[in-house]
């Protein structure tokens, strides 16, 4: 009789395992989030930017603070943003030294990586979708950078040209 | 010498390369540094602008230039079509470009039609100005001639010359009105009103306020004719019939193109203007009709034809018919000199006046139709077949023969008795 004293517990444990097995989440792989063309957004008085086409809105001030240590007023004229293949948002603006790689999370954007481009700041930046990279173009100098969520991947080569 | 030439060639090549380097590099850099966003924005802006330019184009030539621009636009963006296809969905580069080209071609076609109509109208307007001037000249000449005839105390010969001139002038005036009627009919019946409205919208011209306003001319012609008839001119039956024919053709023209003319020439109150012109033309019709019937009745009286009076087309035709039927019956009943004289009078009137001189005006003036004229002709021929009085020649010959036989018999009997 003692041999079966733990039976109820064993049944509960077995049922739990079975239920866990049934609730296994569905995962679709190889999703391409890439946005074909960057979005250029002008912040409002409070620093709010709204991308109606891609259904996303957020406040630019945390990024601006990170870049300039200043949030007394909105100094960022226009932000440039593009979503890469893996779903990360690449954000920068004129005068910024960095490109911010942001991961979308529940109700927030979390900084994945802050990529330093140069010390002078980008005068006229723009993003191009060049899968598997996101290309950063500094239009004032004509310099280009192939970016991934990990940073500057490599200097641009002729081979990258065809990757649009 | 050869070395010098080679050296200068090298220098030129070097300088040329420098120029190419300095001129070409910024353009190249500019082209390379264009972002996808800029390409898309540039495409969208240019596409929108070209569409707007096509919509607002004022001339076919302008659209021709735009078609060239569209071709250049295609050359500029064709290489980016993969990028653009991702952005301009659900449409795509090819469909947008095709729509733009189609829109340009349709506009070009529409504007070409409008310009063609415009040229026709312009030509017609110039022609109308010419008619107007000529008509005014002729009207004033006719008026002064009429006045001179009325006041004339000159010799009979001079007076007859003036009357001849006056009649010639009236004839010319009527011919001119008929030419105007023809021109208006040819030009306006074929005109496409929607094109005219497009033309007005496109060119915003108040062209129709100019002298070549056909509607004004129509109003003027109707008014002038009413005034002319009110002056009670002494005219022949043929002249009245001719003027009646002119009025009828003028009225036919108005019935056919009146709506278009008012639409073209009147901006506001088109219905009122049309009513006004209708009233003038109707009054002209009444004036000339009453005079035409009066003069026709008089002409028949003058011929000594005993026919009841008639006042319109129907009563005229009915009167002629019943006159001919009655006369035919009378001649049939009594083939006398009297009935034959009636026939001869009518035949002379019908052949010499109606058929030889008046029939074109009678038909065009809707006095009698060609069918009615033919029907009357047949009745006249029918009457002719029995109109001549019966001949007594055979009776006389028979009498003479009997008399000759009697005489011969008497002579023979006498001879026998001897």
Which pLDDT does position B354 carry in this prediction?
93
- Residue B218 has, within 13 A of its CA and on its CB side, a CA count of 30
User: Between chains, do A139 and B35 touch, taking CB under 8 Å as contact?
Assistant: yes
User: Between chains, do A139 and B33 touch, taking CB under 8 Å as contact?
Assistant: yes
Q: Is A127 on the interface with B (CB under 8 A)?
A: yes
Residues of A in contact with B86 (CB under 8 A): 36-37
Q: Is B60:B115 a contact under the CB 8 Å cutoff? A: yes
Structure-token pair, residue B249? 């053709």
Q: Is B31 on the interface with A (CB under 8 A)?
A: no
Q: Rounded to 5, what percent of chain A is helix, strand, coil?
A: 20, 40, 40
Which pLDDT does position B314 carry in this prediction?
94
3 state SS of B140: helix
Which pLDDT does position B392 carry in this prediction?
67
Which pLDDT does position A122 carry in this prediction?
94
The pairs formed by A159-163 with CB atoms below 8 angstroms and a separation of 24 or more are A160/A130, A160/A133, A160/A135, A163/A130, A163/A131, A163/A132, A163/A133
Beta bridge partners of B21: none
Residues of A in contact with B34 (CB under 8 A): 139
Please give the C-alpha separations between residue A4 and each of A7, A10, A12, A16, A102, in angstroms, as whole numbers. Answer: 5, 10, 14, 19, 55
Residues of B in contact with A127 (CB under 8 A): 35, 37
> For the segment A19-57, what is each residue's pLDDT rounded down to a tens digit?
555 556 899 999 999 999 999 999 999 999 999 989 999
Which uninterrupted H or E stretch holds A135?
Answer: strand A133-138
Q: Is A34 on the interface with B (CB under 8 A)?
A: no
Which pLDDT does position A56 carry in this prediction?
95
Residues of B in contact with A141 (CB under 8 A): 33
Residues of B in contact with A137 (CB under 8 A): 33, 35
Query: What is the distance between the alpha carbons of residues B317 and B362, in angstroms, rounded to a whole number?
Result: 12
Residues of B in contact with A140 (CB under 8 A): 33
> For the segment A54-110, what is each residue's pLDDT rounded down to a tens digit?
999 999 999 999 999 988 899 999 999 999 999 999 999 999 999 999 999 999 999
pTM: 0.56
Query: Tokens 């052949």 map to which residue?
Result: B351
Which pLDDT does position B349 carry in this prediction?
94
The pairs formed by B178-184 with CB atoms below 8 angstroms and a separation of 24 or more are B178/B246, B178/B249, B179/B131, B180/B128, B180/B131, B180/B135, B180/B217, B180/B221, B181/B246, B181/B249, B181/B250, B181/B253, B183/B124, B183/B127, B183/B128, B183/B131, B184/B124, B184/B214, B184/B218, B184/B253, B184/B257, B184/B261
Which pLDDT does position B3 carry in this prediction?
43
Query: What is the distance between the alpha carbons of residues B114 and B199, in angstroms, rounded to a whole number?
Result: 6
Report residue B237: phi and psi, to 5°: -60, -45
- The residue of A37, A93, A158 whose CB has the most chain B CBs within 10 angstroms, and thus the best one to mutate to test that interface, is A37
Query: What is the distance between the alpha carbons of residues B38 and B381, in angstroms, rounded to a whole number?
Result: 94
Phi-psi region of B380 (alpha: psi -120 to 50; beta: other; left: phi over 0): alpha
Which uninterrupted H or E stretch holds A26?
Answer: none
Residues sharing a CB contact under 8 Å with residue B120, sequence separation 6 or more, in sequence order: B187, B191
- Give the total residue count for chain A: 164
The angle at the Cα of A105, spanning A117 to B85, to the nearest 5 degrees, equals 70
Q: Is A76 on the interface with B (CB under 8 A)?
A: no
Write the DSSP assignment of B56-79 as a string of letters: H--SHHHHHHHHHHHHHHHHHHGG
User: Between chains, do B37 and A142 touch, taking CB under 8 Å as contact?
Assistant: no
Task: Say how many C-beta atoms besides its own lie within 10 A of residue B13's C-beta.
Answer: 10
- Residue among B284, B282, B275 at smallest CA distance from B215: B275
Which pLDDT does position A24 carry in this prediction?
63
3 state SS of A75: coil
Query: What is the distance between the alpha carbons of residues B235 and B171, in angstroms, rounded to a whole number?
Result: 12
> For the segment A134-154, what is each residue's pLDDT rounded down to a tens digit?
999 999 999 999 999 999 986
Q: Is A129 on the interface with B (CB under 8 A)?
A: yes
Query: What is the distance between the alpha carbons of residues B238 and B364, in angstroms, rounded to a whole number?
Result: 13
Min distance B37 CA to chain A CA atoms (Å): 6
Which pLDDT does position B76 carry in this prediction?
95
Please give the C-alpha separations between residue A23 and each of A15, A19, A26, in angstroms, as whole numbers. Answer: 12, 6, 9
Q: What is the dihedral of CA A20, A25, A29, A35, to 10 degrees?
A: -150
Cis peptide before B198 (omega within 30 of 0): no
Query: What is the distance between the alpha carbons of residues A127 and A111, in angstroms, rounded to a whole number?
Result: 18
3 state SS of A145: strand
Provide the residue-wise pLDDT of chain B in tens; the chain has 418 residues.
444 444 444 444 444 343 333 333 333 344 457 899 999 999 999 999 999 999 999 889 999 999 999 999 999 999 999 999 999 888 999 999 999 999 999 999 988 887 887 777 777 767 777 777 777 777 777 777 777 776 765 666 677 777 777 777 778 777 877 777 777 766 666 665 555 555 555 443 444 444 446 777 788 888 888 888 887 777 889 989 998 998 998 898 888 888 877 877 777 777 888 898 899 999 999 999 999 999 999 999 999 999 999 999 999 999 999 999 999 999 888 888 888 999 999 999 999 999 999 998 999 999 999 999 999 999 999 999 988 876 666 777 888 888 888 888 888 888 887 7
Phi-psi region of B204 (alpha: psi -120 to 50; beta: other; left: phi over 0): left
Query: What is the distance between the alpha carbons of residues B139 and B149, in angstroms, rounded to a whole number?
Result: 15
Phi-psi region of B134 (alpha: psi -120 to 50; beta: other; left: phi over 0): alpha
Nearest CA in chain B to A129: B36
Residues sharing a CB contact under 8 Å with residue B154, sequence separation 6 or more, in sequence order: none
Query: What is the distance between the alpha carbons of residues B296 and B240, in angstroms, rounded to a whole number?
Result: 9
């Amino acid at each position: 009789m003692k041999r079966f004293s733990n039976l109820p517990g064993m049944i509960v444990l077995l049922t739990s395992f079975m239920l866990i097995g049934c609730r296994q989440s569905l995962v679709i792989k190889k999703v391409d989030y890439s946005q074909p063309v960057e979005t250029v957004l002008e912040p409002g008085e409070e620093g709010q930017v709204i991308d109606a086409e891609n259904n996303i809105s957020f406040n630019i001030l945390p990024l601006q603070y990170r870049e300039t240590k200043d949030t007394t007023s909105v100094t960022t004229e226009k932000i440039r943003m593009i979503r890469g293949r893996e779903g990360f948002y690449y954000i920068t603006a004129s005068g910024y030294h960095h490109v911010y790689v942001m991961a979308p999370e529940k109700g927030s954007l979390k900084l994945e990586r802050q990529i330093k481009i140069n010390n002078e700041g980008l005068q006229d930046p723009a993003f191009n979708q060049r899968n598997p990279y996101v290309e950063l173009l500094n239009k004032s100098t004509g310099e280009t950078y192939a970016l991934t969520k990990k940073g500057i991947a490599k200097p641009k080569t002729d081979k990258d040209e065809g990757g649009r | 010498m050869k070395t010098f030439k080679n050296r200068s060639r090298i220098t030129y090549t070097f300088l040329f390369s420098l120029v190419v380097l300095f001129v070409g590099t910024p353009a190249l850099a500019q082209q390379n540094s264009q972002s996808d966003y800029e390409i898309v924005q540039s495409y969208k802006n240019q596409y929108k602008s070209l569409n707007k330019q096509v919509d607002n184009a004022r001339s076919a030539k302008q659209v021709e230039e735009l078609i060239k621009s569209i071709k250049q636009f295609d050359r500029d963006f064709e290489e980016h079509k993969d990028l653009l296809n991702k952005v301009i969905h659900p449409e795509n580069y090819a469909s947008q470009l095709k729509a733009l080209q189609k829109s340009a071609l349709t506009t070009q076609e529409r504007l070409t039609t409008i310009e063609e109509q415009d040229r026709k109208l312009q030509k017609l307007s110039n022609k109308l100005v010419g008619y107007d001037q000529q008509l005014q000249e002729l009207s004033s000449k006719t008026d002064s001639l009429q006045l001179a005839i009325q006041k004339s105390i000159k010799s009979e010969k001079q007076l007859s010359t003036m009357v001849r001139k006056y009649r010639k002038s009236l004839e010319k005036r009527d011919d001119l009105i008929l030419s105007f009627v023809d021109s208006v009919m040819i030009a306006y019946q074929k005109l496409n009103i929607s094109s005219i409205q497009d033309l007005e919208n496109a060119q915003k011209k108040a062209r129709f306020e100019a002298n070549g306003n056909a509607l004004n001319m129509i109003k003027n012609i109707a008014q002038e004719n009413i005034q002319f008839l009110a002056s009670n001119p002494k005219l022949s039956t043929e002249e009245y019939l001719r003027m009646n024919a002119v009025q009828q053709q003028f009225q036919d023209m108005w019935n056919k193109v009146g709506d278009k003319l008012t639409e073209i020439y009147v901006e506001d109150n088109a219905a009122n203007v049309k009513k006004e012109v209708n009233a003038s033309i109707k009054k002209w019709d009444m004036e000339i009709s009453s005079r035409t019937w009066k003069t026709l009745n008089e002409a028949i009286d003058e011929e000594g034809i005993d026919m009841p009076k008639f006042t319109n087309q129907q009563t005229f035709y009915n009167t002629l018919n019943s006159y001919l039927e009655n006369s035919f019956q009378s001649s049939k009943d009594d083939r006398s000199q009297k009935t034959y004289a009636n026939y001869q009078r009518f035949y002379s009137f019908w052949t010499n006046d109606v058929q030889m001189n008046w029939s074109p005006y009678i038909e065009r003036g809707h006095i009698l139709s060609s069918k009615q004229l033919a029907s009357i002709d047949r009745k006249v021929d029918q009457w002719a077949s029995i109109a001549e009085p019966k001949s007594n020649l055979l009776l006389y010959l028979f009498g003479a023969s009997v008399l000759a036989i009697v005489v011969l018999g008497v002579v023979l009997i006498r001879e026998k008795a001897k």
